[in-house]
């Protein structure tokens, strides 16, 4: 990839986040066709097989989507990271302190089943192809969920994924060490098959240039003025959005596919659902959505949308049809 590209002029429209043209807004509203024109000379470094490996179950990501949506995102982020690095260097000169700066942290938030994990993996891959950011790490907040045994002890297993279900101290300590430039930082490993933390296994992060940190509630503000939050450590926040009805449908469809895939494994937490017929499985998926994922989306996740620097709005077919970019 080239090191910089201003792109061609795009048809930008300054519009409020809630679509009321008479209200001021800190966001640019950009239609997909205009967004796709912002990185016309940036070559797509990914192949069909790369994209297949990156996309999640039920996500029809393809090369066209990468070229029209995510290459401009990667160009934007490359420029933002470069500007931050320049600021770090000027600050070090001012302080007469040598150093290489600290990792740039990108937060990726959004509902269960909206496709944020695919976005996070894709951004890691694209950003690592730029010559000035070859070292990009990806960590998810899932690893900082309390173990199931502890969630059961606290009566929180049915609220897994809600803010109170995380080991907040461990999570903030991890991000603090990353931002402090600690040479080697470890994060717990999570298994989606076991639906639990994997004992004695960790993810090691060795001072990357960029860290993509993905999770449901990573854009949440502090609970009060005396507490720190994950969002305090982020340099750039991305929110992946879609209509709630579409996300619900994607969740149910994914559940039905998993029933014939990972749920069939004997060590799967959801193995008990593998033998259900289609009608029973759909009913279970709907129940989990309405009792856990929908309340978390409404009470916590969706409320952080306006805190993002970049919002990717998806249509019913999982393609991004509009981008909202905060004026930086």
What is the pLDDT tens value at each position of the chain, 328 positions in all? 444 444 444 455 544 445 555 667 789 999 999 999 999 889 999 999 999 999 988 899 999 999 999 999 999 999 999 999 899 888 888 988 877 778 999 999 999 999 999 999 999 999 999 999 999 999 999 999 999 999 999 999 999 999 999 999 999 999 999 999 999 999 999 999 999 999 989 999 999 999 999 999 999 998 877 789 999 999 999 999 999 999 999 999 999 999 999 999 999 999 999 999 999 999 999 999 999 999 999 999 999 999 999 999 999 999 999 999 998 7
The answer to whether the CB of 41 falls within 8 A of the CB of 5 is: yes
205 neighbors 186 (Cβ within 8 angstroms): yes
Q: Which residues pair with 212 in a beta bridge?
A: 106, 138
- What pLDDT score was predicted for residue 49? 95
Q: How many residues does the chain have?
A: 328
Q: Which residues of 213-250 are buried (b: 16+ CB within 10 A; e: fewer)?
A: bbbbbbbbeeeeeeeebbbebbbbbbbbbbeeebbbbb
110 three-class SS: strand
pTM above 0.85, yes or no: yes
Mutual orientation of helices 71-95 and 116-128 as an angle, nearest 10°?
60
pLDDT for the residue numbered 113: 96
d(CA 274, CA 58): 18
The pLDDT value recorded for residue 20 is 57
Pairing, β 27-31 against β 310-314:
unpaired
29: three-class secondary structure by DSSP: strand
pLDDT of residue 23: 66
Q: Which fold has domain 45-326?
A: Rossmann fold (3.40.50)
How far is residue 19's CA from residue 81's CA, in Å, rounded to a whole number? Answer: 30
Q: What is the pLDDT of residues 19-76, one digit of tens each?
A: 555 667 789 999 999 999 999 889 999 999 999 999 988 899 999 999 999 999 999 9
Q: What is the mean pLDDT of the chain?
A: 91
pLDDT computed for residue 16 by the predictor? 44
């Amino acid at each position: 990839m080239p090191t910089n590209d201003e792109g061609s002029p795009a048809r930008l429209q300054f519009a409020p986040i809630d679509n009321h043209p008479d209200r001021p807004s800190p966001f640019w509203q950009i239609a997909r066709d205009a967004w796709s024109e912002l990185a016309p000379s940036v070559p797509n470094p990914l192949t069909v097989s790369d994209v297949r490996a990156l996309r999640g179950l039920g996500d029809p990501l393809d090369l066209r989507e990468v070229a029209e949506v995510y290459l401009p995102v990667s160009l934007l982020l490359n420029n933002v990271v470069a500007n931050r690095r320049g600021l770090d260097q000027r600050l070090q000169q001012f302080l007469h302190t040598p150093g290489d700066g600290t990792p740039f942290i990108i937060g990726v938030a959004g509902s269960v089943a909206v496709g944020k994990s695919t976005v996070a993996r894709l951004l890691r891959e694209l950003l690592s192809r730029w010559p000035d950011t070859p070292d990009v790490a990806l960590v998810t907040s899932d690893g900082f969920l309390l173990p199931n045994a502890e969630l059961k002890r606290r009566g929180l297993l049915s609220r897994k994924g809600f803010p109170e279900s995380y080991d907040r101290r461990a999570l903030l300590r991890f991000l603090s060490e990353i931002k402090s430039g600690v040479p080697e930082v470890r994060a717990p490993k999570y298994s989606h098959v076991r639906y639990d933390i994997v004992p004695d296994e960790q993810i090691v992060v060795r001072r990357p240039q960029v860290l993509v940190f993905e999770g449901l509630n990573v854009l949440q503000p502090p609970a009060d003025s005396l507490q720190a939050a994950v969002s305090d450590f982020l340099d750039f926040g991305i929110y992946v959005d879609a209509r709630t009805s579409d996300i619900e449908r994607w969740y149910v469809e994914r559940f039905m596919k998993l029933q014939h895939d990972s749920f069939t494994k004997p060590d799967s937490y959801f193995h008990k659902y593998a033998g259900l017929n289609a009608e029973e499985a759909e009913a279970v998926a709907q129940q989990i959505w309405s009792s856990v994922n929908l309340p978390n989306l409404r009470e916590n996740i969706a409320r952080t949308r306006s805190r993002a620097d970049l919002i990717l709005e998806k249509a019913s077919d999982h393609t991004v049809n509009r981008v909202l970019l905060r004026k930086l």
